[in-house]
A and B are shown apart, each in its own frame.
Chain A
Amino acid sequence: MITVLYFAWVRERIGLPRERIESSAKTVAELVEELKAREERYAAAFADLKALRVALDQELADFTAPLAGVREIAFFPPMTGG
């Protein structure tokens, strides 16, 4: 099981802030494909990966990164702090 978190408009588009999912995905990109295949709202949220960032266990990562050993994955738009 992996915890998936969504923030900002990704959270709004998918309609929930977090969920626990069972997945056999080996990389972030594979997990994204699994999610997109689930429902239209996921497909809409993940339509343009260039507009998204991903963090694995609270560290920024790439979509090609492996998921082995990862407990928490978060998807969000580019950050706007400051």
Chain B
Amino acid sequence: MRVSVQAEPFDFGAECADFGRGGRDVGAVVSFLGVVRDDSGALKRMEVEHYPGMTERAITEIAEEARRRWDLADLLVIHRHGALLPGEPIMMVATAARHRAAAFEAAEFLMDYLKSRAPFWKKETGTDGSRWVAARDEDEDALARW
């Protein structure tokens, strides 16, 4: 299991190629890549602020909960902070398990919890100024299914 909170870019392809390799009990690998989206067509950059210390701790707790719930061979979470451009990778999750159901479900669980329980805040700067991205009720509601 690896959790990384970093300002540096990561190579999604290289991370996926390495992940779960060599595990003879692995029959399924699921990966998810989150990308900075430009909804308005005027986004210049996105600043991701976080709470150093708590961020790593919160993600590790979420990851450990996923390992308790599903029989996972491996798990990877990378989340960036700092200034990002539209189209840039912002975060990724990968899960490896014997069967696909566990790998898919654990990846979705991780994504749902990272959205609203890991201390990150996004600020978008466009041609018309800056604004903090508001949390969505749907993201909070998504936790109820787990």
Q: Which residues of A line the B interface, CB within 8 A?
A: 5, 7-9, 55, 58-60, 74, 76-82
Contact, CB under 8 Å: B116 / A58: no
Q: What is the minimal beta-carbon distance from B3 to any residue of chain A, in angstroms?
A: 13
A77 touches B135 (CB 8 A): yes
Contact A7:B49 (CB < 8 A) given known A74-B54, A80-B133, A82-B91:
yes
Which chain B positions have C-beta within 8 A of A76? 51, 119, 121
A81 to B110 Cα, complex, angstroms: 11
In contact, A58 and B57 (Cβ under 8 angstroms): yes
Do B51 and A82 touch across chains, with their CB atoms under 8 A apart? Answer: no
B53 touches A8 (CB 8 A): no
Answer whether residue B21 sits at the interface, using C-beta atoms and an 8 A cutoff: no
Interface status of B79 (Cβ within 8 A of chain A)? yes
Contacts A7-B49, A8-B49 hold; do A80 and B121 have CB atoms under 8 A apart?
yes
Q: B70 an interface residue at 8 Å Cβ cutoff?
A: no
Q: Which residues of A contact B119 (CB under 8 A)?
A: 7, 55, 74, 76, 79, 81
In the assembled complex, which residues on chain A have CB atoms less than 8 Å from the CB atom of B54? 55, 58-59, 74
With both beta carbons as reference points, the residue of chain A lying nearest to B120 in the complex is identified as: A81
A7 to B119 CA separation, bound complex (whole angstroms): 9
